[in-house]
Structure 1
Amino acid sequence: MAGPKDLDPSSSPRALLGAELRHAREKAGLSQDDLGQRLFVSGSFIGQLEAGTRRMQPEYARMLDEALGTDDFFQRNRGAAAKSCYREHFAEAAEAETRATAIREYTSMLIPGLLQTPAYARAVSRAFQPTAPEDAIDGLVSGRMARSRLLDDPTTPLLWTVIDEAALRRATGDREVMAEALDHLACLARRSRVIVQVLPFDAGAHPGMQGCVRLMDFADAPPLVYLEGVDTGRLEDDPASVARYRFYFDLLTASALPRQKSLALLESMTQDYRHEEHS
Structure 2
Amino acid sequence: MTRPKDLDPSSNPRALLGAELRHARERAGLSQEALGAPLFVSGSFIGQLEAGTRRMHLEYARHFDETLGTDTFFTRNCGALAKSKYPDHFAEAAESEAIATAIREYAPLLIPGLLQTPGYARAVFRAYQPTAPDSVIDELVTARLERAHILADPTSPLLWAVLDEAVLRRVVGGRQCMAEALRHIAALARKCRIIAQVMPFTAGAHTSMGGSLKLMAFDDAPPLVYFEGSGTGRLEDDPATVVRYELAYDLLGASALSPQESLALIESVAEDYAHDDQP
Bin the TM-score by the shorter chain.
Answer: over 0.9
Counting only pairs closer than 5 Å after superposition, residues 166-245 of structure 1 correspond to structure 2 as 166-245=166-245
| Cα distance in 2 between the residues matched to 1:190 and 1:33 | 46
Structure 1 vs Structure 2 CA RMSD: 1.7
Deviations 1:244-266 (A, max 9, x none): 11111111111100000000100
Counting only pairs closer than 5 Å after superposition, residues 29-44 of structure 1 correspond to structure 2 as 29-44=29-44
Counterpart position of 1:130? 130
Aligned residue for 1:132, secondary structure, equals: coil
8 Å contact 1:108–1:164 — kept in the other structure?
A: yes
Aligned residue for 2:101, secondary structure, equals: strand
Offset at 1:93? 0.7
Unaligned runs of 5+ in 2: none
Structure 2 counterpart of 1:134, one-letter code = D
8 Å contact 1:106–1:214 — kept in the other structure?
A: yes
Counterpart position of 2:66? 66
Structure 2 counterpart of 1:57, one-letter code = H
Tell me the matched-pair count.
Answer: 279
Unaligned runs of 5+ in 1: none
Deviations 1:206-230 (A, max 9, x none): 1211111111111111111111000
Offset at 1:7? 3.0
Given the superposition, is the C-alpha separation of residues 3 and 239 from structure 1 closer, same or farther in structure 2, using an over 3 Å criterion?
farther
Structure 1 counterpart of 2:195, one-letter code = I
Deviations 1:121-148 (A, max 9, x none): 0010101111110011111111111111
Moved more, 169-178 or 204-213: 204-213
| Cα distance in 2 between the residues matched to 1:179 and 1:260 | 19
Counting only pairs closer than 5 Å after superposition, residues 108-147 of structure 1 correspond to structure 2 as 108-147=108-147
Aligned residue for 2:215, secondary structure, equals: strand
Structure 1 counterpart of 2:214, one-letter code = R
Deviations 1:141-168 (A, max 9, x none): 1111111111110000000010100111
Counterpart position of 1:106? 106
Counterpart position of 2:54? 54
Offset at 1:19? 1.0
Deviations 1:13-61 (A, max 9, x none): 3222111100111112222222222221122211111111211111111
Counterpart position of 1:265? 265
Counterpart position of 1:157? 157
Q: Structure 2-normalised TM-score?
A: 0.95
- Percent identity at matched positions? 68
Offset at 1:109? 0.3
Counterpart position of 1:254? 254
Q: Structure 1-normalised TM-score?
A: 0.95
8 Å contact 1:175–1:277 — kept in the other structure?
A: no
Structure 1 counterpart of 2:59, one-letter code = E
Given the superposition, is the C-alpha separation of residues 230 and 278 from structure 1 closer, same or farther in structure 2, using an over 3 Å criterion?
closer
| Cα distance in 2 between the residues matched to 1:6 and 1:172 | 44
8 Å contact 2:272–2:278 — kept in the other structure?
A: no
Aligned residue for 1:98, secondary structure, equals: helix
Aligned residue for 1:65, secondary structure, equals: helix
| Cα distance in 1 between the residues matched to 2:110 and 2:11 | 35
Counterpart position of 2:90? 90
| Cα distance in 2 between the residues matched to 1:151 and 1:8 | 24
Offset at 1:274? 1.5
